Every structure is written in structure tokens, then in C-alpha cells.
Amino acid sequence: MRRTARPVSDSRRPPAGMSGVVARLALVVVGQVCFGIGIGLLFLADLGVGPWDVLHDGLSGRLDRAPGTVIIGLGAILLLLLVLFRQPIGPATVTNVVIIGTTLNLLLGVFETPSTYVARLVLVSGAPLLVALGSMVYLGAGIGVGPRDGLMTALIDTGLSTRAARTLLEVTVLVGGLALGGSVGVGTVMFALLVGPSLHRLQHRVWPGWSEPPGWVFRRG
């Protein structure tokens, strides 16, 4: 008996026309703000941050700039590298450079590190969940990845496996951040151990995302 293809569910279809554009961009903004808040919780806890943020923290101290400002500046440099490496660039790639760093600066400007160790551990525990949720929401919009993930893709294009490329990048930025005086501690370990399982748990329990719309992600041949 011949099987017919299963129709795509309505949850997988973006709204048509301008409302679809607005919906995708709204998801990107919400997801990246959520991501920035998650990163901010790690900085507020002051118990160590994730690998990339060890580098951001180290550069922040050396350059006497807010961590979010460093994220924006480094993100802009990585965006230029993606152009040079001919990697796909979408609207979410560009907004990633600005929104996450700005959200982090706003959060650090309003809140202070809690006075109790237990409260700081609570912040560290919540950070991976928010980062994972934010990642899934903005990537689910289907209009590009962040410049740091784009750099990993460029490494994969050289022949490295996904695991090897991610490990190489994260070890490099972690060591570089340590050399610059970035914050490493129990928060770094907890984030590394929890963010992967958080992504896995949320992947099939929350909205899975839309496919990439033609023409939205710039690719150079």
C-alpha cells in the first residue's frame, strides 16, 4: 500500500505575509533577550561564567568596558569573519550581535550580586535553562544563527567534526579568557554540565521551530 506524505502541522507553518515576518523577528528578539538574561544570571552570581563569557569577562577587565559591550564588539568582529569565510548570514545573525550584549548590560546595570551563596547558586542553576530556551526559540525562527555558532560551522567546513569544532573553540576561548583574568568557578562547571541536557529536554517539549524561508539567509557561492 502506497504511503502518502504527512502534511506539515500548523505549528510548523509560519503565518503568511507580513505577519510571518513579524512573527519570526519577534521570536528572534524574545529568544535572544532570554539568552542574554541567562548569561546575565551567571555574571550576577559571580561564581564563574561559561567558556565564551570567560573570554568576554577577561576582555572586559582588560579594556575597562562592560561585558555586554565586549560581547557586541567581539560579535561584530566575528560577523566580519563569517563574511570572509563565506558562511550563511541571516537577520538573527546580525541581531545576535546587539541584543544579547545589550540585555546583559541592562541586567547588570539594574541588579547586584546576591548576598547569600545559596541565592547565587540558584542563579547559576537557572542560567543554563534560560540560555537553552532562548537558543531554541531564536534558532527556531529559522532566519540565521549567532556569529559564534557560525564560526563553529566554518571550522566544520574545514573537515572537523561538530564535536571537535565545538571543543576546539570552547577550549580556545576558555584558555584565552583565563589568561586575560576571566572568571572561572563552580558556575563554569555547572553551566557546561547543564546547558546540553537543558537543550535536549526542551527540544521536543516546546515549539520545534520553522523551516528557513527562501532568500532570508544570505549565502555566498
Region 98-122: mean pLDDT is: 96
Measure the CA–CA gap between 130 and 119, rounded to whole angstroms.
Answer: 17
Q: Look at residue 108 in the predicted model and tell me its pLDDT.
A: 96
State the amino acid at position 168 in one-letter form. Answer: L
Is the model's pLDDT at 98 over the cut of 60? yes
Question: What are the boundaries of each domain within the chain?
Answer: 24-203
Res. 12 pLDDT band, cuts 50 70 90: low
pLDDT tens for 149-162 read: 888 888 888 888 87
pLDDT tens for 31-52 read: 999 999 999 999 999 999 999 9
Could you tell me the three cell numbers for 38? Answer: 541567562
Closest CA to 146 of 85, 94, 77: 94
